[in-house]
Amino acid sequence: MELAYAKEDAQFRDEVRGFLDEKLTPELRRRGKLMTSVYADHETTMEWHRTLFEKGWVAPAWPVEHGGCDWSVVQHYIFASEFAAAGAPPLSPMGVGMCGPVLIGYGTQEQKDFYLPRILNGEDFWCQGYSEPGSGSDLASLQMSAVEDGDEYLCNGQKIWTTHGQYANRIFCLVRTSKEDIPQRGITFLLMDMDTPGIEVKPLIMLTGEHVQNEIFFTNARAPKRNVVGKVGDGWTVAKYLLQFERGGHAYAPGLHTRLERIRMIAGEELSGTGDRLIDDTAFAEKLAQAWSEITALEFTEHRIMSKLSHGEAPGAESSMLKTRGTELSQRLTEIALEAVAYYAVPFQPHATCPGGPVPGHEAPEGRQAHVGPDYALPVAPKYLNDRAGSIYAGSNEIQRNIMSKAVLGL
């Protein structure tokens, strides 16, 4: 078995590394490594988005004719691995990873021509209007209404857990255009402008003190009928298609491997005043080895999904497997990281002033002391708290297992 990269792949890896060395500034690296959420702050995201757009690497998994890259599966994985290892901040997935693929698959030519270039260049920043109070994992029970009024829909209702809704200028929504015999019917996929009169955004502050999520209220908000994606009343089909990209449209393993190596580095340091190292503890070393083997196994699923994406195909039921294993392994790493940093994680300050100056969104509030301890300990406790949501968002992992049991096992 030949495990070395082919010559052209090694050259591509060197190209990616060269790009990162040149364009990924020390400040961007610092912000990426100090992330406590699955998202970077908005300023960092857009700065890095513009840099990747100039290179033509914003949406490598899109079909080439729409701005994607003609890469092999190996090159896609090299790209993800090198970015994770370098600590590059991730892009917001709502436009590039979700809305874009849906428009490519279901949008009209007019919608593709207008929206896709704006997603690529960052002119449009999207948020997702799916969940509602009482309609999360049971998404088909959603109640936000869209009633025909001439060439428009009059929309009333509420969405919740809307990531980065405070920054978005557009939102893709699931709305109820009719009431049928089963709840999945009568749902429509609708695009809306966030500056539409009648749309109000209210913040939801997280346990870590961060403002990532929002509630959005719609009161007689209007949207043109031309903004329907797919067929009226068939939004459930479009939504399921999008969820495959949300759950399986990116690689978990490269980032997980990078985080695991960071924990290994921490565990290799001498414990204060003892001369011992945590890495030498057999039980702890076994936890690292078990995590490594499970992350490596996850890579094979990601290779299959990347192969589909690079050929313009949806990930299918494998996306549920990827989302389930990826989020649960991520949670496992946060637990191991807490053990590794020990008491340095206890007096965490989620908005602390970091070495070298404050990271946007992480400034210490007036009257509160910044984090004291090693740099690497700063995001550990906030990341642990934030990651508790990983097995819930994008469809709870219990729901994912139901999907796999039906789609794969036929149960």
Any idea which residues carry the catalytic annotation?
Answer: 246
- Token code pair at residue 323: 């989302």
DSSP string, 186-254: TEEEEEEETTSTTEEEEEEE-TTS-EEEEEEEEEEEEEEGGGEESSTTBHHHHHHHHHHHHHHSS-SHH
Q: Is 152 helix (H, G, I), strand (E, B) or coil?
A: strand
- Taking the C-alpha atoms of residue 353 and residue 45, their distance in angstroms, rounded to an integer, is 20
- Token code pair at residue 146: 């869209």
- Taking the C-alpha atoms of residue 243 and residue 395, their distance in angstroms, rounded to an integer, is 9
Q: Please report, for residues 9, 257, 260, 302, 325, the alpha-carbon distance to residue 254 in angstroms, rounded to integers and kept in the order given.
A: 17, 5, 10, 10, 14
- Nearest to residue 89, comparing CAs of 42, 19, 22, 21? 42
- Token code pair at residue 105: 């698959």
